[in-house]
Structure 1
Amino acid sequence: MNSVYNVIIRPVVSERSFDLMSQGKYTFEVAAKAPKEEIADAVEKLFNVHVLKVNTMWVKPKNKRVRYVTGKTRTWKKAVVTIADGEQIEVFSNQGAAAEE
């Protein structure tokens, strides 16, 4: 991978990912061929934090149906990145959710 922007595709927004944020763990969708070292470097460069650990997993496709046509969602790679204590990634801060309430 050449660029850090090609390694991290998007943050994963779910209830579980928000629960993990309190433990200093952030979830991203990453490029399929990105190794853990590149994922850690990309997160450190993009968000200016210190990465302690990277766990990766493949999300398997699910069967979906629209009327009579069946298909599957795509397979994608997910990374759970653990950062150092006292640091946080501002993109995921809960300030936006609190302002909406």
Structure 2
Amino acid sequence: MQNPFETIQSELKELKGLVAQLLTKPEKDLSNNMYTVKEAAELLHVDRQTIRNHIDNGNIKASSIGRRILINHEELFDSLNEVKSLKYKRQV
């Protein structure tokens, strides 16, 4: 008969190995992602028109390919800090 603590200990070692694999898994590089206006609006939990207004005002830089407006991941989230502060500024 095998010691029950040995089986528990071996299973714990396996779990530690699996957790280590999960922790060392490289994160997905999102810097090259391009989002449509709809996708950006869903990510930021705002309306599509809000994204379009910020693009028109120059707060978010976007490029258009045909009829599609695409926003780079870095541009969207770098300008996000500015958008939050501009959201509450009084426009003159």
- Name the TM tier (shorter chain): under 0.3
Higher strand share: 1
Q: Give the greater-gyration-radius structure (CA).
A: 2
TM-score by length of 1: 0.21
Structure with higher RCO (Cα < 8 A, 6+ apart): 1
The structure with more helix, counted as a fraction of residues? 2
